[in-house]
């Protein structure tokens, strides 16, 4: 009887949480766009204008350094995701090593290499930002 109840709980409660999360999130997802914004960006231009004080026209006429900055920012975001995936993979491989020292050491080395790579990328970005700030004046 207790084992059957445990099996029932393992199925019932996660399912209930999933259903409740859908019921709670539905009004948020189905929210309508503001009346003053019927464009395809769903009011994001209004948010940018009010939050950052930048108009849509100023955003559209970006110069070369701004475009390069956006590309570098996107590349750094991609590198951050890659480092995160490497860390998760190394952590999972460490957990799955089952006490084998060789596999544990490989996972540790992978974690150290990922962290060092992240430090190098962030240092390069900091140096680039500093040099760009110096020459921009």
Q: Other CB atoms closer than 10 Å to residue 65's CB: what's the count?
A: 10
Q: Which residues, including other chains, have CB under 8 Å from residue 117's CB and lie 6 or more apart?
A: 83
**Residue 12 located in a structural domain:** no
The predicted pLDDT at position 16 comes to 79
Q: Would residue 72 count as lying in a domain?
A: yes
- Say what the pLDDT of residue 58 is: 66
2 in a domain, yes or no? no
User: Which positions ≥6 away from 93 have C-beta within 8 Å?
Assistant: 103, 106, 107, 110
pLDDT of residue 11: 75
In a domain, 22, yes or no: no
In order along its 137 residues, the chain shows pLDDT tens digits of 455 567 667 777 788 788 877 777 666 655 555 555 555 666 666 776 776 666 666 666 666 776 777 788 788 888 888 998 999 999 999 999 988 999 999 999 999 999 999 898 888 888 887 887 787 66
Q: What is the pLDDT of residue 129?
A: 79
Residue 110 to residues 35, 42, 76, 125: CA-CA distances in angstroms?
52, 42, 20, 22
* Domain contains 40: no
- Residues 54, 127: Cα–Cα separation, whole Å: 27
pTM above 0.85, yes or no: no
Domain that holds residue 103: 62-137
Say how many domains are in the chain: 1
Asked, for residue 135, whether it belongs to a domain, the answer is yes
Q: Is residue 112, in this structure, part of any structural domain at all?
A: yes
* Residue 49 resides in a domain: no
């Amino acid at each position: 009887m207790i084992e059957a109840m445990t099996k029932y709980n393992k199925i019932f409660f996660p399912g209930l949480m999933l259903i409740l999360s859908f019921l709670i999130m539905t009004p948020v997802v189905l929210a309508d766009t503001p009346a003053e914004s019927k464009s395809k960006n769903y009011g994001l231009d209004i948010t940018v204008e009010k939050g950052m004080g930048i108009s849509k026209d100023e955003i559209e006429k970006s110069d070369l350094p701004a475009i390069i900055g956006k590309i570098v920012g996107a590349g750094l975001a991609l590198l951050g995701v890659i480092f995160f995936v490497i860390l998760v993979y190394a952590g999972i491989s460490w957990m799955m090593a089952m006490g084998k020292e060789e596999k544990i050491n490989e996972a540790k080395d992978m974690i150290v290499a990922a962290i060092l790579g992240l430090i190098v990328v962030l240092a390069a970005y900091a140096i680039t930002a500093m040099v760009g700030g110096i020459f921009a004046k």
